[in-house]
A and B are shown apart, each in its own frame.
Chain A
C-alpha cells in the first residue's frame, strides 16, 4: 500500500509539475490532491483511482494557474544524467518544448506515467484511436527534431 501510494504520488507530482512548471507549487498541488481524495467519500473502488486523482490534480492545476499567473518558470538542468546522455536529454527536452501542450501531455501519460491508451482516452475524453494517432504523431515530430 505504502509503495502504491508512493508511485501514485510520483505520477501526480510529475503531472502537476508538467502543468504548473514550478516544483514547490507542484508539490503543494500534489499533496492537496491526495488530501482532497482522502477527505471525500464519493469515490467507489472500481479500479479508476488514478484517473480520479488525475482529475482532481488537473482541476487544482487549472485553479492554481488561474489565480497565480505571475509565478516564474523554473528552468531545470538535467544534472543527474550520465554525460553521454546529456546531449540526448537536452535535445529531447528541446524537441518536446516544440510540441503542443496536448501532445506533451499524451507523451507524459503514455511513456512516463505508463497509462494505458484506453485510460488516457477516457481521461482526455477522446477515442482510443484519436489518442493512438496523436501519440504516434507526437512521437514522429519528436523523432524528426
Chain B
C-alpha cells in the first residue's frame, strides 16, 4: 500500500483535537501496575532456594568435572550430573504450582492478573534460570566427552524433561500439599532410573541408543506442552466460573 494513500486515509479519519483530553488523563485514576511491573513483581515471589540450588548445581558440576582428566571419566560425568537434574526440575515444578499447596488458587484466580499469568510469568523466570544452568552444565560436561553438544544435551535433557513431564501429570491427579511427596518420589525415581540405566546397560550412551534418547526427549517435551496447555484451559474455565459466582 502506498504511503501517500495510507497517510491520506489517516488524515481523513483524523478527528478534531479533543480539548478535554489532557485534563481527563491527568485526573483519571489508573491502575499503577502495568504488565512489565507485574512480571518483575513475580521475580520477588520466586524463593531464593531455587536460585541457590541452580547455583549449587553449576558449582558441583564445575568441581566434579575439574577433578576429571580428559578421557578418564568417559560417560560417568553424564549420568552423575544427569542424575542430579531431576531435582532441579523438581524445584522448578514445585515453585511454579505452589499456589495450590497453600490454598491460594481461588484468590489468585480472581485477581486482575490471574493465576494463569502468575504461573506463566514464574515459568518464564524459572525456565530462563534453568536454561542458563543447563547450558552452563552442558558446556562443562561436553568438555570431558567427545560426544558433541547435541548428544550430551540429549543425555542431560532427558532426566530433566522427564521429571518435569511426570510432575506435571501428577499435578493434574493429586491436588494440594500431598502432591509434594509425589513430586519428590518422582524426581528421586527418575534420578535412580538414570543411574540404574547406566549399570544395567553399559552402552546406553553409545550412538546406537541415540534414537531412544531422542524419543524420550520428544515424548517428555510433548507431555510438558500438552499439560501446560491443559492447565491454562483449566484455569481459564475456573476463573470464568469464579466470575459467574461473584
Contact = CB atoms under 8 A, between A and B. Distances in A.
A54 interface: no
Given A14-B14, A23-B18, A30-B18, A142 B5 contact: yes
Given A6-B25, A31-B24, A13 B15 contact: yes
A108 to B, nearest CB: 5
B29 A92 contact: no
A16 B20 CA distance: 15
Interface stretch (B62-70, B93-101, B109-117, B145-153): B109-117
Nearest to B20: A27
B34 A1 contact: yes
A18 to B, nearest CB: 6
29 contacts: A1-B30, A2-B30, A4-B34, A6-B21, A13-B18, A14-B13, A17-B16, A18-B13, A26-B18, A27-B19, A27-B21, A31-B24, A35-B28, A38-B28, A42-B243, A44-B112, A45-B112, A45-B113, A45-B117, A76-B16, A78-B12, A85-B11, A89-B11, A92-B9, A92-B11, A92-B12, A96-B9, A112-B13, A142-B5
Given A23-B16, A107-B9, A45 B35 contact: yes
B1 A17 contact: no
A46 B235 CA distance: 13
Interface residues of B, number: 34
Majority DSSP secondary structure for residues of A touching B: helix
Contacts of A14: 13-15
